[in-house]
Amino acid sequence: MHPLTSLSEEEGMFKAEIAKFATSSILPLRTQMDENEQLDPHLVAASFDLGLMGIEIPEKWGGAGGSFFMSCLAIEELAKVDPSLAVFVDVQNTLVNNIFLNWGSAEQQAKYLPRLAQQQVGSFCLTEADSGSDAFALQSRALPQGNGWRLSGKKTFITNASEAGIFVVFASVDPALGYKGITAFIVEKTMKGFSLGKKEKKLGIRASSTCEVILEGVEVGPEHVLGEVGKGYKVAIETLNEGRIGIAAQMLGLAQGAFAGAFTYAGQRSQFGRQINQFQGVQFQLAEMACEIEAAKLLMYNAARLKDAGQVFTKEAAMAKFTCSAVAEKVASQALEVYGGYGFIKEYPAEKFYRDAKIGKLYEGTSNLQLQTIFKVLEKQFG
């Protein structure tokens, strides 16, 4: 086994436990959740009970005290069965928890990390209707009020919004300062002026909630600022850099789930008097899919290991997300074709994996933005 994909005993046991949970608890509910466009509440509770919502949070705050790599392993395993639950766990760990771990004050960590580890879902609120890839063109405002602020604005495409109780919201304290005015705030669902807007109906990962977040004069004090005033852009960039690896893990798991189903089906389906996996065309197709999945795995595992080692991983994270997203889309499409006409109906999981795959190239930085990031790093290296 290649060193990058080898696991320690602890990591192997952890991965096996998540795989068991996914097969026994998520799989029976996967179709129902997709059709209902909602995560089953029992699975949300189970995710906390298993420690999946606070993998990197230290044990003193009720977390599992694990590594970033272990978070990625969990996301990968969950996505093999249902990418919707995988991104639910992903956003909690790689975005929200990491923000508090990296940028929270001692008081903020003591207050919020136990809740995030054991009972409350978190959400990351950056995107707006007119600021997607150009994230720092956001229009949400934080107007001074006493020694605090009043937050106003509308966020769109916010993952985990329906389930969340804690929101990390990015708003500008002064638009004239450009990106240097952007600040990260902690907002709770119970605060006056906070509400959710429409819930989006999506092509894929339908059970994952995606909603508008509306801020109408939400009052927050200085204790709700994450990091420093005016440093929200840095908080966002560094957090999303880690988040890219989480999405890569989701897409890697999705590709593996789609491939496993197609490989099994190819050994069961007979045409022209023999199983279809006896035809060289199908064999080559499956072999090529396996090669691309393994290459994507190496990129994702490498980026996650670099992050845990405290080394620079900007380029590697972008490469992992770009490649894993591309491989997931390609493998999901090819896997569906292995089923033939049956791949197009909901009796088999191929069509769901195919629908779920597309988002990988879009959220937490489009594929073009990943290429731009990769080029900029290479330009510095070779320029």
Q: Which positions are annotated as active-site residues?
A: 364
Residue matched to tokens 């604005």: 153
What letter does residue 93 receive in the DSSP assignment?
I
Furthest CA-CA distance within the chain: 80
* Residue 194: HSE in the Cβ half-sphere, 13 Å Cα cutoff: 19
Residue 330 burial (10 A CB sphere; 0-12, 13-18, 19+): middle
- Bridge partner list, 288: none
Q: How far is CA 229 from CA 157, 170, 179, 222, in A?
A: 25, 11, 11, 9
Residue matched to tokens 């004050």: 105
Residues 213/158, Cβ–Cβ less than 8 Å: yes
List of residues 6+ apart from 347 with CB closer than 8 A: none
Please give the single-letter amino acid code of residue 106: A
Q: How far apart are CA 161 and CA 312, in angstroms?
A: 31
List of residues 6+ apart from 77 with CB closer than 8 A: 15, 18, 19, 22, 253
List of residues 6+ apart from 357 with CB closer than 8 A: 83, 204, 251, 254, 255, 258, 325, 328, 329, 331, 332, 333
Query: Which alpha helices (DSSP H) does the chain contain, by range?
Result: 9-21, 30-36, 41-49, 68-81, 83-90, 98-103, 106-118, 232-266, 280-308, 314-338, 350-357, 367-382
List of residues 6+ apart from 302 with CB closer than 8 A: 4, 316, 320
